[in-house]
Structure 1
Amino acid sequence: MSSSSVTPWYKQFWPWFLLGLLFSSIAFSMLFLFFSIRYYDGSISGDYYERGLGINQQLAKQEHASDLGLSATLQIDNLTGDVVIDLTGERQPETLHLALIFPTDSDFDRELTLTHVRDGRYVTTIEEPLQYRWYLQLQPETGDSAEWRLTGEARFPSEEEFDLVPGI
C-alpha cells in the first residue's frame, strides 16, 4: 500500500496562478476605468453635423481673406511676453483676435486681442510662455461671425516669425 500524501489546494501552484490571473484582470479593468473617467477627452461633440456644415463657411472666410490680399506674420517673444502681428492687405481693423489652439487638449487653448498701433502692426502681451506646437487663427473679431480668417501653425519657443495666410 502506497501512502501518497496530497497537499492541500492552497499549497499548490495552479489555483494561485488562476486566481492571480483573475485578480490582475480585475485590477487592470478598474485602473483603465479610472483613467477613462478621469481623462475623458470628449472627442466627439453633440453638434458634429452642424459643425460639419460650418466647414463651407470657414472656407468662404479664408477665400475672402485671399480676395482681400491679406497675410500676416506673427512673432512672440517668450522672455517679455510680447506678441506682434504685422498685417498686410486691404483691411486694417482696430483690433485683431488671435486664437492659439493646442492640438490635443482644448483646455490649453488661448484667445488674445491685439490692438492696432501703426501701419498694420498689432501688439499685445501673453502671460505665460508658450511651448510645443500650436494652430493659429487670426480674425478681425471673435466667433463665427468674422468676415475673414488667416491660419497658420507654430512651434514654440522660437525667435522666428510665423506666416498666417488664407487657407486651411
Structure 2
Amino acid sequence: MSSSSVTPWYKQFWPWFLLGLLFSSIAFSLLFLFFSIRYYDGSISGDYYERGLGINEQLAKQEHANELGLSATLKVDNVTGDVVINLAGERRPETLHLALIFPTDGDFDRELTLTHVREGRYVGTIEEPLQYRWYLQLQPEAGDAAEWRLTGEARFPSEDEANLVPGI
C-alpha cells in the first residue's frame, strides 16, 4: 500500500479556478446591469416607421430653404447667454425657433425662440452656458409644420460664428 494522501478539494487549483470564473461572470453581469439602468437611453418610439417616412418632408423643407436662398449665422455669448442669429434670404418671420440638439443624450436638448429685432437679426437668451458639440436646427416655427429648415453644427464655447445652411 502506498501512503499517498489525497489533498482536500479546497487546496486544489481547479475548483477555485472554476469558482473564480463563476463569481467573475456574476460580478460583471451585476456591473453591466447597474450601468444599463443608470444610463438608460430610451427605447424606440412607437411611430418609428412614420418618422422614417417623414424624412422626405424634412428634405423638402431644406430644399425649400435652398430655393428661398436662406442661410444664417449663429453667435452665442456664453457669459451673458445672448444668442444672435443673422438670417439672410427672402423670408423674415417675426420669430425663429432654434433647436440645440446634443448628439449623445436627448436630456440635454434645448429649444429657444428668437425674436426679430431688425433687418434679419434675431435675438434670444439661453439660461445655461453651452459646452461641447451641438447640432443646430433653425426654422420659422416649432414642430413639423414649419415651411423651411436650416441646419448646422457648432462647438461651444467659441468666439466663431456657426453657419446654418439648407441641407442635412
Shorter-chain TM-score: what band?
over 0.9
User: TM-score, normalized by length of structure 2?
Assistant: 0.95
Report what 1:62 is aligned to. 62
1:23-62 per-position Cα deviation (integer Å, ceiling 9, x unaligned): 1111111221222232221363322110111011111111
1:140 & 1:163 partners in 2: Cα distance? 17
Q: Does 1:89 align with 2:85?
A: no
2:107 & 2:137 partners in 1: Cα distance? 17
What's the Cα RMSD here?
1.2
The residue identity in structure 2 corresponding to 1:6 is: V
The residue identity in structure 2 corresponding to 1:132 is: Y
The residue identity in structure 1 corresponding to 2:104 is: T
DSSP 3-state at the match of 1:159: coil
DSSP 3-state at the match of 1:137: strand
Total equivalences in the alignment? 168
1:97 & 1:64 partners in 2: Cα distance? 17
1:125-161 per-position Cα deviation (integer Å, ceiling 9, x unaligned): 1111111111100011000001111110111110001
2:31 & 2:152 partners in 1: Cα distance? 39
2:46 & 2:76 partners in 1: Cα distance? 35
Q: Does 1:106 align with 2:106?
A: yes
Structure 1: 4+ residue segments shifted above 2 A: 42-46
